[in-house]
Amino acid sequence: MNTKLIAALAASAAATALFVTGCSDSGTSSTPSSTGSAAPAPAAGKSTASVDGKEFTAKFDTICAKQGGVLALSLTDLANATYGNLSVSATVEGDAVQAVAIGGTQGGSNGLPYAVGYGNGQPGGSAKLAKDGNTFRITGEGVSADMTNPLAGPTTAKFDITFACTTIA
């Protein structure tokens, strides 16, 4: 997956997050995990996101909307101290995760944008969905790139995201 595709996926996720209207639920994530293992399961009703075992310190607004058989899930923090405009989103069709995008306007190498993406059928990633009522947990592996050295090629990053939806529009 090339860096242009990763950037496009992150931009698409951010646009989806801003375009989708529906439920909104504010939640604050906990302190970053100091271990390299997967993030602990979130408290009930909390939306959280972590990459490579490090949980984002963010105050997320959660948006959940369904049209036809496609569920759009989004977490946004438009004033994140580390990542600027931080967006975490996923699309789910049935029980299959179609796409995941994690992007920030800053926080990448040398102050550049931050992005991790997964697209169903694209090389270099995977995603699994677990549902509990209106709470959706997506775990897997996405693709990222160091934008300061695009010739280095993509790297992989593990993600663990919980979308705690109060309602689904």
Q: How far apart are CA 63 and CA 37, in angstroms?
A: 27
HSE-CB for 85 with a 13 A CA cutoff? 8
| pTM above threshold 0.85 | no
- Tokens representing 101 are 């995008």
Q: Give the burial string for 12-21 (b: 16+ CB within 10 Å, else e).
A: bbbebbeebe
CB-neighbour burial class of residue 66 (10 A; exposed 0-12, middle 13-18, buried 19+): middle
* pLDDT, one tens digit for every residue, the chain (169 residues): 343 334 334 434 433 333 332 333 434 333 233 333 333 444 457 999 999 999 999 999 999 999 999 999 999 999 999 999 999 999 999 999 999 999 999 998 888 899 999 999 988 899 999 999 999 999 999 999 877 777 888 889 999 999 999 999 9
pLDDT at 20 (0 to 100): 33
pLDDT at 49 (0 to 100): 97
pLDDT at 33 (0 to 100): 32
pLDDT at 44 (0 to 100): 52
- In this structure, the number of other CB atoms found within 10 A of the CB of residue 41 comes to 11
DSSP 110: G
Q: What is the 3-state secondary structure (H, E, C) of 39-64?
A: CCCCCCCCCEEEECCEECCCEEEEEE
